[in-house]
Structure 1
Protein backbone atom coordinates (compact mmCIF):
# COMPACT_ATOMS: atom_id res chain seq x y z
CA UNK A 1 0.00 0.00 0.00
CA UNK A 2 1.48 3.37 -0.99
CA UNK A 3 1.82 6.20 1.52
CA UNK A 4 -0.44 8.54 -0.43
CA UNK A 5 -3.88 7.32 0.70
CA UNK A 6 -6.74 8.98 2.55
CA UNK A 7 -9.64 7.54 4.55
CA UNK A 8 -12.85 9.18 3.32
CA UNK A 9 -15.53 8.46 5.91
CA UNK A 10 -18.92 9.28 4.47
CA UNK A 11 -21.67 10.87 6.58
CA UNK A 12 -21.34 9.04 9.89
CA UNK A 13 -23.60 11.65 11.43
CA UNK A 14 -26.01 11.74 14.32
CA UNK A 15 -28.96 12.38 11.98
CA UNK A 16 -28.41 8.90 10.52
CA UNK A 17 -27.39 7.18 13.77
CA UNK A 18 -30.31 8.48 15.83
CA UNK A 19 -34.09 8.15 15.49
CA UNK A 20 -34.82 10.56 12.63
CA UNK A 21 -36.63 10.12 9.31
CA UNK A 22 -33.23 9.18 7.83
CA UNK A 23 -32.19 6.69 10.52
CA UNK A 24 -29.81 3.96 9.29
CA UNK A 25 -30.40 1.10 11.76
CA UNK A 26 -27.19 -0.82 11.15
CA UNK A 27 -24.83 2.13 11.24
CA UNK A 28 -23.89 0.89 14.73
CA UNK A 29 -22.79 -2.44 13.22
CA UNK A 30 -20.11 -0.85 11.03
CA UNK A 31 -18.99 1.76 13.54
CA UNK A 32 -16.34 -0.42 15.27
CA UNK A 33 -14.47 -0.94 11.97
CA UNK A 34 -14.59 2.77 11.17
CA UNK A 35 -13.47 3.67 14.70
CA UNK A 36 -10.55 1.23 14.35
CA UNK A 37 -9.36 2.75 11.06
CA UNK A 38 -9.92 6.40 12.04
CA UNK A 39 -8.35 5.76 15.43
CA UNK A 40 -5.18 4.34 13.94
CA UNK A 41 -4.93 6.96 11.19
CA UNK A 42 -6.80 10.12 12.26
CA UNK A 43 -4.38 12.30 10.30
CA UNK A 44 -5.43 10.46 7.12
CA UNK A 45 -9.18 10.69 7.83
CA UNK A 46 -11.67 13.10 6.31
CA UNK A 47 -15.22 12.95 7.65
CA UNK A 48 -17.85 14.17 5.20
CA UNK A 49 -21.02 15.70 6.59
CA UNK A 50 -24.22 15.93 4.57
CA UNK A 51 -25.61 19.35 5.50
CA UNK A 52 -29.28 19.94 4.66
CA UNK A 53 -30.35 23.42 3.55
CA UNK A 54 -32.32 25.75 5.82
CA UNK A 55 -35.44 25.23 3.65
CA UNK A 56 -36.38 23.32 0.51
CA UNK A 57 -36.48 26.61 -1.42
CA UNK A 58 -32.77 27.14 -0.75
CA UNK A 59 -31.88 24.26 -3.09
CA UNK A 60 -31.93 24.17 -6.90
CA UNK A 61 -33.93 21.91 -9.20
CA UNK A 62 -34.94 18.48 -8.01
CA UNK A 63 -33.19 19.02 -4.68
CA UNK A 64 -36.05 21.39 -3.88
CA UNK A 65 -38.52 18.56 -4.53
CA UNK A 66 -36.39 16.22 -2.44
CA UNK A 67 -36.54 18.48 0.61
CA UNK A 68 -40.23 19.16 0.08
CA UNK A 69 -40.59 15.41 0.69
CA UNK A 70 -38.30 15.60 3.78
CA UNK A 71 -39.09 18.98 5.41
CA UNK A 72 -38.30 17.56 8.85
CA UNK A 73 -34.69 17.17 7.71
CA UNK A 74 -34.16 20.82 6.73
CA UNK A 75 -32.40 23.34 8.92
CA UNK A 76 -35.74 24.84 9.90
CA UNK A 77 -36.78 21.66 11.71
CA UNK A 78 -33.66 19.52 12.26
CA UNK A 79 -31.68 20.15 15.43
CA UNK A 80 -28.31 21.56 14.25
CA UNK A 81 -26.31 19.18 16.45
CA UNK A 82 -27.73 16.21 14.52
CA UNK A 83 -25.60 17.14 11.50
CA UNK A 84 -22.46 16.49 13.54
CA UNK A 85 -20.36 13.33 13.35
CA UNK A 86 -21.17 10.65 15.94
CA UNK A 87 -19.28 11.18 19.21
CA UNK A 88 -17.04 8.11 18.89
CA UNK A 89 -15.60 9.51 15.65
CA UNK A 90 -15.64 13.19 16.51
CA UNK A 91 -12.98 12.48 19.12
CA UNK A 92 -10.46 11.93 16.29
CA UNK A 93 -10.76 15.48 14.95
CA UNK A 94 -8.33 17.06 14.85
CA UNK A 95 -6.15 15.78 13.30
CA UNK A 96 -9.01 14.21 11.27
CA UNK A 97 -10.69 16.81 9.09
CA UNK A 98 -14.29 17.63 8.21
CA UNK A 99 -15.73 18.23 4.77
CA UNK A 100 -19.28 19.59 4.51
CA UNK A 101 -21.39 18.94 1.42
CA UNK A 102 -24.94 19.68 0.27
CA UNK A 103 -25.25 16.82 -2.21
CA UNK A 104 -24.65 13.07 -2.18
CA UNK A 105 -21.26 13.43 -3.84
CA UNK A 106 -18.37 15.18 -2.08
CA UNK A 107 -16.79 15.95 -5.47
CA UNK A 108 -19.36 18.32 -7.00
CA UNK A 109 -17.81 21.70 -6.20
CA UNK A 110 -14.17 20.64 -6.60
CA UNK A 111 -13.01 21.56 -3.07
CA UNK A 112 -12.29 17.98 -2.00
CA UNK A 113 -10.43 17.24 -5.22
CA UNK A 114 -8.29 20.37 -4.73
CA UNK A 115 -7.46 19.28 -1.18
CA UNK A 116 -6.51 15.75 -2.20
CA UNK A 117 -4.49 17.01 -5.18
CA UNK A 118 -2.56 19.36 -2.90
CA UNK A 119 -1.92 16.40 -0.56
CA UNK A 120 -0.84 14.22 -3.53
CA UNK A 121 -3.42 11.55 -2.66
CA UNK A 122 -3.72 8.66 -5.12
CA UNK A 123 -5.86 6.18 -3.17
CA UNK A 124 -9.20 6.82 -1.48
CA UNK A 125 -10.34 4.32 1.17
CA UNK A 126 -14.11 4.66 1.64
CA UNK A 127 -16.24 3.86 4.68
CA UNK A 128 -19.57 5.14 5.99
CA UNK A 129 -23.11 5.40 4.75
CA UNK A 130 -25.23 4.93 2.90
CA UNK A 131 -23.67 2.38 0.57
CA UNK A 132 -26.27 2.86 -2.16
CA UNK A 133 -26.44 6.67 -2.02
CA UNK A 134 -23.60 8.85 -0.70
CA UNK A 135 -20.96 6.09 -0.60
CA UNK A 136 -21.83 5.18 -4.20
CA UNK A 137 -21.62 8.84 -5.26
CA UNK A 138 -18.25 9.21 -3.52
CA UNK A 139 -16.90 6.05 -5.14
CA UNK A 140 -18.09 6.94 -8.65
CA UNK A 141 -16.67 10.45 -8.37
CA UNK A 142 -13.34 9.09 -7.16
CA UNK A 143 -13.30 6.65 -10.08
CA UNK A 144 -14.00 9.47 -12.54
CA UNK A 145 -11.15 11.51 -11.06
CA UNK A 146 -8.73 8.60 -11.47
CA UNK A 147 -8.23 7.57 -7.87
CA UNK A 148 -7.63 4.01 -6.81
CA UNK A 149 -10.70 3.25 -4.69
CA UNK A 150 -10.72 0.78 -1.81
CA UNK A 151 -14.16 0.16 -0.34
CA UNK A 152 -14.27 -1.52 3.04
CA UNK A 153 -17.37 -3.69 2.80
CA UNK A 154 -17.63 -4.31 6.55
CA UNK A 155 -17.43 -0.54 7.17
CA UNK A 156 -20.25 0.68 4.90
CA UNK A 157 -23.95 0.53 5.65
CA UNK A 158 -27.38 1.28 4.29
CA UNK A 159 -30.96 1.29 5.47
CA UNK A 160 -31.82 -1.02 2.54
CA UNK A 161 -30.07 -4.41 2.48
CA UNK A 162 -31.05 -5.25 -1.10
CA UNK A 163 -29.57 -2.10 -2.65
CA UNK A 164 -26.56 -2.23 -0.31
CA UNK A 165 -25.77 -5.71 -1.66
CA UNK A 166 -26.48 -4.65 -5.24
CA UNK A 167 -24.16 -1.64 -4.91
CA UNK A 168 -21.30 -3.79 -3.61
CA UNK A 169 -21.90 -6.21 -6.50
CA UNK A 170 -21.96 -3.35 -9.01
CA UNK A 171 -18.78 -1.72 -7.72
CA UNK A 172 -16.96 -5.01 -7.31
CA UNK A 173 -18.03 -6.31 -10.72
CA UNK A 174 -18.43 -3.55 -13.27
CA UNK A 175 -15.74 -1.37 -11.70
CA UNK A 176 -13.33 -4.13 -10.66
CA UNK A 177 -10.34 -2.50 -12.38
CA UNK A 178 -10.79 0.74 -10.40
CA UNK A 179 -12.40 -0.47 -7.14
CA UNK A 180 -11.05 -2.99 -4.69
CA UNK A 181 -13.56 -4.30 -2.18
CA UNK A 182 -12.07 -5.74 0.99
CA UNK A 183 -12.60 -5.85 4.75
CA UNK A 184 -11.14 -3.52 7.33
CA UNK A 185 -8.81 -6.08 8.93
CA UNK A 186 -7.39 -7.07 5.56
CA UNK A 187 -6.80 -3.42 4.65
CA UNK A 188 -5.14 -2.64 7.97
CA UNK A 189 -2.95 -5.75 7.62
CA UNK A 190 -1.77 -4.52 4.21
CA UNK A 191 -0.34 -1.30 5.65
Structure 2
Protein backbone atom coordinates (compact mmCIF):
# COMPACT_ATOMS: atom_id res chain seq x y z
CA UNK A 1 0.00 0.00 0.00
CA UNK A 2 2.71 2.52 0.92
CA UNK A 3 5.70 1.60 -1.26
CA UNK A 4 8.94 3.06 0.09
CA UNK A 5 7.50 5.14 2.94
CA UNK A 6 8.49 7.36 5.82
CA UNK A 7 6.44 8.29 8.87
CA UNK A 8 6.60 12.06 9.29
CA UNK A 9 5.30 12.96 12.73
CA UNK A 10 4.56 16.65 13.01
CA UNK A 11 5.40 18.71 16.10
CA UNK A 12 4.57 16.35 18.96
CA UNK A 13 6.39 18.62 21.35
CA UNK A 14 6.11 19.64 24.97
CA UNK A 15 5.30 23.21 23.88
CA UNK A 16 1.96 21.91 22.56
CA UNK A 17 1.40 19.14 25.13
CA UNK A 18 1.91 21.22 28.27
CA UNK A 19 0.25 24.27 29.79
CA UNK A 20 1.38 26.97 27.36
CA UNK A 21 -0.60 29.45 25.22
CA UNK A 22 -0.20 26.92 22.38
CA UNK A 23 -1.53 23.90 24.30
CA UNK A 24 -3.34 21.32 22.13
CA UNK A 25 -5.55 19.24 24.44
CA UNK A 26 -6.17 16.53 21.81
CA UNK A 27 -2.48 15.67 21.75
CA UNK A 28 -3.00 13.36 24.72
CA UNK A 29 -5.68 11.41 22.80
CA UNK A 30 -3.62 10.81 19.65
CA UNK A 31 -0.31 10.13 21.42
CA UNK A 32 -0.92 6.38 21.93
CA UNK A 33 -1.51 5.85 18.20
CA UNK A 34 1.56 7.88 17.29
CA UNK A 35 3.58 5.96 19.87
CA UNK A 36 2.37 2.71 18.30
CA UNK A 37 3.44 3.48 14.73
CA UNK A 38 6.66 5.19 15.88
CA UNK A 39 7.49 2.36 18.26
CA UNK A 40 6.93 -0.31 15.62
CA UNK A 41 8.93 1.57 12.99
CA UNK A 42 11.32 4.03 14.68
CA UNK A 43 13.85 3.65 11.86
CA UNK A 44 11.18 4.89 9.43
CA UNK A 45 10.10 7.83 11.62
CA UNK A 46 11.13 11.47 11.38
CA UNK A 47 9.81 13.82 14.04
CA UNK A 48 9.55 17.48 13.10
CA UNK A 49 9.93 20.14 15.74
CA UNK A 50 8.57 23.66 15.40
CA UNK A 51 11.43 25.77 16.74
CA UNK A 52 10.61 29.34 17.63
CA UNK A 53 13.16 32.10 17.03
CA UNK A 54 15.25 33.67 19.77
CA UNK A 55 13.25 36.88 19.32
CA UNK A 56 10.83 38.35 16.72
CA UNK A 57 13.44 40.71 15.23
CA UNK A 58 15.42 37.83 13.67
CA UNK A 59 12.43 36.82 11.54
CA UNK A 60 11.37 38.31 8.21
CA UNK A 61 8.06 39.59 6.91
CA UNK A 62 4.88 38.43 8.57
CA UNK A 63 6.79 35.92 10.73
CA UNK A 64 8.20 38.93 12.58
CA UNK A 65 4.65 40.24 13.13
CA UNK A 66 3.53 36.76 14.22
CA UNK A 67 6.24 36.53 16.86
CA UNK A 68 5.62 40.07 18.04
CA UNK A 69 2.16 38.79 18.96
CA UNK A 70 3.60 35.57 20.46
CA UNK A 71 6.77 37.06 22.00
CA UNK A 72 6.26 34.94 25.12
CA UNK A 73 6.78 31.86 22.91
CA UNK A 74 10.16 32.96 21.58
CA UNK A 75 13.27 31.32 22.97
CA UNK A 76 14.27 34.47 24.88
CA UNK A 77 11.24 33.83 27.15
CA UNK A 78 10.50 30.12 26.71
CA UNK A 79 11.88 27.21 28.72
CA UNK A 80 14.17 25.61 26.08
CA UNK A 81 13.05 22.12 27.12
CA UNK A 82 9.55 22.86 25.79
CA UNK A 83 10.86 22.57 22.23
CA UNK A 84 11.66 18.90 22.91
CA UNK A 85 9.46 16.05 21.78
CA UNK A 86 7.13 14.58 24.36
CA UNK A 87 9.17 12.08 26.42
CA UNK A 88 7.58 8.89 25.03
CA UNK A 89 8.61 9.90 21.49
CA UNK A 90 11.96 11.44 22.40
CA UNK A 91 12.94 8.01 23.77
CA UNK A 92 12.75 6.62 20.20
CA UNK A 93 15.52 8.94 18.94
CA UNK A 94 17.67 7.31 17.62
CA UNK A 95 16.91 5.37 15.47
CA UNK A 96 14.05 7.81 14.80
CA UNK A 97 15.29 11.17 13.56
CA UNK A 98 14.46 14.81 14.28
CA UNK A 99 14.05 17.57 11.71
CA UNK A 100 13.78 21.13 13.04
CA UNK A 101 11.81 23.80 11.19
CA UNK A 102 10.92 27.43 11.84
CA UNK A 103 7.82 27.54 9.64
CA UNK A 104 4.63 25.53 9.44
CA UNK A 105 5.99 23.52 6.53
CA UNK A 106 9.09 21.33 6.83
CA UNK A 107 9.71 21.68 3.09
CA UNK A 108 10.79 25.35 2.96
CA UNK A 109 14.55 24.80 3.44
CA UNK A 110 14.70 21.89 1.00
CA UNK A 111 16.69 19.82 3.51
CA UNK A 112 14.01 17.29 4.34
CA UNK A 113 13.08 16.78 0.69
CA UNK A 114 16.76 16.19 -0.13
CA UNK A 115 17.02 13.49 2.54
CA UNK A 116 13.85 11.76 1.35
CA UNK A 117 14.98 11.86 -2.28
CA UNK A 118 18.29 10.19 -1.36
CA UNK A 119 16.35 7.49 0.49
CA UNK A 120 14.00 6.89 -2.44
CA UNK A 121 10.90 7.74 -0.40
CA UNK A 122 7.66 7.65 -2.39
CA UNK A 123 5.05 7.90 0.38
CA UNK A 124 4.86 10.23 3.36
CA UNK A 125 2.64 9.05 6.24
CA UNK A 126 1.55 11.99 8.39
CA UNK A 127 0.64 12.11 12.08
CA UNK A 128 0.82 14.84 14.72
CA UNK A 129 -0.46 18.36 15.04
CA UNK A 130 -2.03 20.60 14.30
CA UNK A 131 -4.24 19.22 11.56
CA UNK A 132 -5.29 22.66 10.33
CA UNK A 133 -1.85 24.31 10.47
CA UNK A 134 1.42 22.34 10.31
CA UNK A 135 -0.08 19.01 9.19
CA UNK A 136 -2.05 20.74 6.44
CA UNK A 137 1.00 22.70 5.32
CA UNK A 138 3.12 19.53 5.34
CA UNK A 139 0.54 17.58 3.36
CA UNK A 140 0.16 20.25 0.67
CA UNK A 141 3.92 20.66 0.35
CA UNK A 142 4.39 16.90 0.04
CA UNK A 143 1.74 16.79 -2.68
CA UNK A 144 3.50 19.63 -4.54
CA UNK A 145 6.77 17.70 -4.34
CA UNK A 146 5.14 14.60 -5.84
CA UNK A 147 4.87 12.33 -2.82
CA UNK A 148 1.92 10.06 -2.19
CA UNK A 149 0.55 11.26 1.14
CA UNK A 150 -1.29 9.19 3.73
CA UNK A 151 -2.81 11.12 6.62
CA UNK A 152 -3.69 8.93 9.59
CA UNK A 153 -6.91 10.68 10.53
CA UNK A 154 -7.04 9.20 14.04
CA UNK A 155 -3.43 10.24 14.75
CA UNK A 156 -3.65 13.95 13.94
CA UNK A 157 -4.93 16.60 16.31
CA UNK A 158 -5.87 20.23 16.56
CA UNK A 159 -7.00 22.75 19.10
CA UNK A 160 -10.12 23.50 17.06
CA UNK A 161 -12.69 20.85 16.16
CA UNK A 162 -14.26 22.70 13.24
CA UNK A 163 -11.06 23.43 11.37
CA UNK A 164 -9.67 19.96 12.14
CA UNK A 165 -12.74 18.38 10.55
CA UNK A 166 -12.72 20.85 7.63
CA UNK A 167 -9.02 20.19 6.96
CA UNK A 168 -9.52 16.43 6.81
CA UNK A 169 -12.52 16.90 4.53
CA UNK A 170 -10.54 19.24 2.27
CA UNK A 171 -7.58 16.88 2.06
CA UNK A 172 -9.72 13.79 1.51
CA UNK A 173 -11.98 15.34 -1.11
CA UNK A 174 -9.89 17.80 -3.09
CA UNK A 175 -6.63 15.83 -3.14
CA UNK A 176 -7.97 12.29 -3.36
CA UNK A 177 -5.66 11.31 -6.25
CA UNK A 178 -2.52 12.28 -4.32
CA UNK A 179 -3.61 11.79 -0.72
CA UNK A 180 -5.29 8.99 1.16
CA UNK A 181 -6.96 9.20 4.57
CA UNK A 182 -6.62 6.07 6.71
CA UNK A 183 -6.70 4.99 10.32
CA UNK A 184 -3.54 3.92 12.06
CA UNK A 185 -4.84 0.34 12.21
CA UNK A 186 -5.64 0.31 8.47
CA UNK A 187 -2.18 1.58 7.63
CA UNK A 188 -0.32 -0.85 9.89
CA UNK A 189 -2.45 -3.77 8.70
CA UNK A 190 -1.65 -2.88 5.07
CA UNK A 191 2.14 -3.05 5.54
TM exceeding 0.5: yes
* Cα distance in 2 between the residues matched to 1:161 and 1:77: 29
* Cα distance in 1 between the residues matched to 2:36 and 2:3: 19
1:39 is matched with 39
Indicate yes or no: 2:116 matched with 1:116: yes
* Cα distance in 1 between the residues matched to 2:160 and 2:66: 19
2:149 is matched with 149
RMSD across aligned C-alpha pairs, in angstroms? 0.6
* Cα distance in 1 between the residues matched to 2:86 and 2:71: 22
Q: How does 1:55-134 map to 2 (within 5 A)?
A: 55-134=55-134
* Cα distance in 2 between the residues matched to 1:141 and 1:17: 25
Mark the CA change 1:151 to 1:2 in structure 2 (over 3 Å): closer, same or farther.
Answer: closer
Displacement of 1:56 in angstroms is 0.5
Give the length in aligned residue pairs: 191
1:181 is matched with 181
2:164 is matched with 164
Normalised by the size of structure 1, how large is the TM-score?
A: 0.99
Partner SS state of residue 153, structure 1: strand
Unpaired runs of 5+ in structure 1? none
Q: How does 1:25-36 map to 2 (within 5 A)?
A: 25-36=25-36
1:56-102 deviation line (CA, Å, top 9, x unaligned) = 00100000000011011001101000000000111111000000000
Q: Which runs of 4 or more aligned residues in structure 1 lie more than 3 Å from their structure 2 counterparts after TM superposition?
A: none
2:16 is matched with 16
Displacement of 1:42 in angstroms is 0.1
Displacement of 1:2 in angstroms is 4.5
Displacement of 1:23 in angstroms is 0.3
* Cα distance in 1 between the residues matched to 2:77 and 2:119: 37
